[in-house]
């Protein structure tokens, strides 16, 4: 008799949702390496130099034991200065940083509101959250204000938290951060901004869409290090009081082995590269505009960002088209529920400054051909 695990996998397969690991191949239109730094000579050289000066690969323990290395502290100081916040706290991944923030900071009696399209890491944090929490319609500032006003009417002292992304990972659209920040200030709420896909790409020097908000006492931002920065880890930028609270109360920080000091040293270099990467950002914008031109010919809207979804609806329709593109040398992946809402399976195209104009043109031609085949 099949086990419940076998039955679950068979059910996924019948729905076209069974996942498996696959290697890298073809032109990269699927990773989040937006500035092309992950395989760069600069970061490889940074690792070599760090090893030469004796930076260890592993930390050997949690940061509250013996795992706190000068590279961690140097990275946090440099990140706080670069992004314009009072302090920073480094985690081994952006996912763990975001989940840890959500599960630790809001307390019982508080209200945590989150956009319905936020990352899975936010939802993971909600599983351990003490606060009352509920989703609001995507980018709906009216709903946010209504909920804040109603909560404040009966809870003058409790804390409110609003969790959003600046650049949404599956839809490629932007949050109305200025409007949401104004509401957070008006109703004395904390604003939690996940900058995962905007870090390195948007804002002055790639400091994200929250660059003008950083350092405010009611703003916390997450900047991941494994996407445009090309390394790994996640940085929470926050007031120093809240950093000290996290160090004392955040279980994923207290009990986890500290991130690699070697990787922390590489992130320090990545931040410096990011600050001077206007040429890479310009190249990325050129590729974005180029793909937008191809989509316009197909009657499809462009997000104007480095993330471009093409909604196909059915799960197998999306996977079939991804397979067809892969057979022609394009690495474009299909994204299916539950990662995205039911009926909105899609191709998720991402762009990088390392792509050539001819690469984007070739993809545009292939998309036109395969979308025409699907419509026929």
What amino acid positions are annotated as catalytic residues?
32, 119, 165, 169, 194, 197, 227
Count of alpha carbons within 13 angstroms of residue 139, beta-carbon side: 11
CA 123 to chain centre: 13
Whether the CA torsion 46, 47, 52, 53 is positive or negative: it is positive
Q: Are 219 and 248 in contact (CB under 8 A)?
A: no
Tell me phi and psi for residue 194, to 5 degrees.
Answer: -90, 105
CA 33 to chain centre: 12
CA separation (Å) from 272 to 265, 276, 277, 284, 356?
Answer: 11, 7, 9, 18, 24
Tell me phi and psi for residue 119, to 5 degrees.
Answer: -60, 155
What residues have CB less than 8 Å from 316, skipping those under 6 apart?
16
Q: Are 235 and 105 in contact (CB under 8 A)?
A: no
Q: Which tokens go with 242? A: 């809240």
Helix (H, G, I), strand (E, B) or coil at 309: strand
Helix, strand, coil content of the chain in percent (nearest 5) = 45, 15, 40
Tell me phi and psi for residue 39, to 5 degrees.
Answer: -110, 25
CA separation (Å) from 83 to 36, 190, 271?
Answer: 21, 18, 10
Nearest to 72 by CA among 52, 51, 58: 58
Q: What is the dihedral angle through the alpha carbons of 205, 175, 197, 32, rounded to the nearest 10 degrees?
A: -130
Can you spell out the DSSP letters for 154-201? H-SSS-EEEEEESB-TTT--B--HHHHHHHHHHTTEEEEEE-TTTTTT
């Amino acid at each position: 008799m099949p086990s419940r695990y076998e039955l679950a996998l068979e059910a996924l397969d019948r729905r076209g949702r069974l996942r498996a690991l696959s290697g890298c191949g073809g032109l990269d239109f699927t990773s989040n390496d937006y500035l092309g730094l992950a395989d760069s000579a600069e970061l490889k050289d940074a690792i070599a130099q760090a090893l030469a000066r004796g930076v260890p690969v592993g930390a050997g323990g949690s940061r509250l034991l013996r795992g706190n290395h000068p590279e961690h502290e140097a990275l946090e100081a440099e990140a706080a200065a670069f992004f314009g916040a009072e302090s920073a706290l480094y985690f081994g991944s952006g996912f763990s940083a975001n989940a840890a923030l959500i599960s630790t900071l809001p307390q019982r009696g508080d209200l945590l509101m989150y956009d319905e399209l936020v990352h899975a890491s936010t939802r993971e944090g909600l599983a351990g959250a003490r606060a009352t929490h509920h989703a609001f319609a995507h980018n709906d500032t009216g709903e946010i204000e209504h909920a804040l006003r109603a909560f404040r009417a009966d809870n003058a002292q409790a804390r409110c938290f609003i969790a959003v992304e600046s650049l949404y990972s599956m839809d490629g659209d932007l949050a109305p951060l200025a409007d949401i920040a104004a509401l957070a200030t008006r109703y004395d709420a904390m604003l939690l901004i996940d900058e995962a896909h905007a870090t390195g790409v948007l804002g002055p020097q790639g400091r994200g869409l929250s660059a003008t908000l950083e350092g405010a006492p009611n703003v916390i931002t997450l900047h991941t290090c494994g996407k445009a920065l090309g390394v790994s880890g996640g940085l929470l930028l926050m007031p120093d009081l809240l950093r000290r609270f996290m160090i004392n109360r955040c279980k994923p920080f207290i009990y986890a082995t500290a991130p690699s000091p070697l990787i922390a040293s590489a992130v320090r270099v990545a931040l410096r590269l990011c600050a001077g990467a206007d040429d890479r950002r310009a190249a990325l914008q050129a590729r974005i505009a180029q793909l937008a031109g191809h989509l316009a010919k197909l009657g499809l809207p462009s997000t104007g960002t480095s993330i471009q979804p093409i909604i196909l609806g059915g799960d197998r329709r999306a996977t079939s088209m991804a397979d067809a593109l892969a057979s022609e040398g394009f690495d474009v992946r299909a994204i299916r529920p539950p990662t995205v809402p039911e009926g909105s399976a899609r191709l998720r195209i991402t762009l990088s400054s390392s792509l050539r104009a001819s690469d984007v043109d070739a993809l545009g031609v292939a998309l036109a051909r395969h979308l025409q085949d699907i419509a026929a």
